[in-house]
Amino acid sequence: MRLRDCRRLVIFTGAGVSAESGIPTFRDAQTGLWAKYSPEQLASPEGFRQDPQTVWDWYAWRRERCLAAQSNPAHRAIAELQRRLPYATLITQNVDGLHQRAGSGAALELHGNIHRLKCFRCGEDAGAWPDDCSAPPLHSCGGLLRPAVIWFGENLVQDVLEAAWRATEEAELFFSIGTSSLVYPAAELPFLARRNGGYLVEVNPQETPLSAHADLCLTGAAGTVMPAILAALVAVA
């Protein structure tokens, strides 16, 4: 079995992995009260500069939804794969922290984590959200605190991107799970794996721009496909 025999595995996840936990994709999250705002207004440095309170409120609302959600069978199967295959690297575009809550070990969070804050002015890590989430607090430098996620127009954290790049270049087997393969530079990773000779598996109920380049497309929901993969691994172990 390719999974059992491979020594360098990358598991790369996107918002689809959390869809079965009820966490809406980015655009789906712009419903109701938020429908009148563009993604750039809600998730960009310019949007925060213009209207910090609205951006803060949107993230506070999204964070509440993440806290209320439970990990699903896909998160749990991925965590178990990590336990059984210690050479696996988990790279996620998700900011919801559900991989960790499902028991995953280290994860390279390409787009940050919604549960943490940093300073909008000096960039310093500012830890967890305060109990009173009614307005963005001030950092000791005088700047406003903001969620520690990557916004439109911002660069990814260099160390995290480099670690993801290295693991991908070396991957013998690369799983791309629940991502539309549209958001760059993250979307480059599966293509990089393929160029470097890695065997590329896509898990998604829909066709994506990656599908035609994958060695294998497992068409279905991550919450069904990933437990089946885990069961197959256990059966041959």
Count Cβ atoms below 10 Å from residue 206 Cβ, excluding itself. Answer: 9
Among 33, 106, 141, 182, binds ligand NAD (CB under 6 A): 182
Distance CA 3, CA 190 (A): 17
Q: Nearest CA to 90 among 181, 179, 174, 31?
A: 174
**What would the DSSP string read from start to end of 185-235?**
TTTHHHHHHHHTT-EEEEE-SS--TTGGG-SEEE-S-HHHHHHHHHHHHHH
Q: Which of residues 117-156 bind ligand NAD (CB under 6 A)?
A: none
Q: Is 104 in the site for ligand NAD (CB under 6 A)?
A: no
Site for ligand NAD in 20-59 (CB under 6 A): 20, 23, 25-26
Q: Nearest residue to ligand NAD, using CB?
A: 16
Residues identified as active-site: 111
Which range binds ligand NAD by CB under 6 A, 44-52, 75-83, 135-143, 220-228? 220-228
Q: How far is the CB of 204 from ligand NAD (least distance, A)?
A: 5
Q: Are 105 and 90 a contacting pair, CB within 8 Å? A: yes
Residue 160 touches ligand NAD, criterion: CB under 6 A: no
| Paired tokens of 165 | 């790049």
109 touching ligand NAD, by CB under 6 A = no
Question: What CA–CA distance (Å, rounded) separates 63 from 117?
Answer: 12
Residues that bind ligand NAD (CB under 6 A): 14-16, 18-20, 23, 25-26, 93-96, 111, 178-180, 182-183, 203-206, 208, 221-223
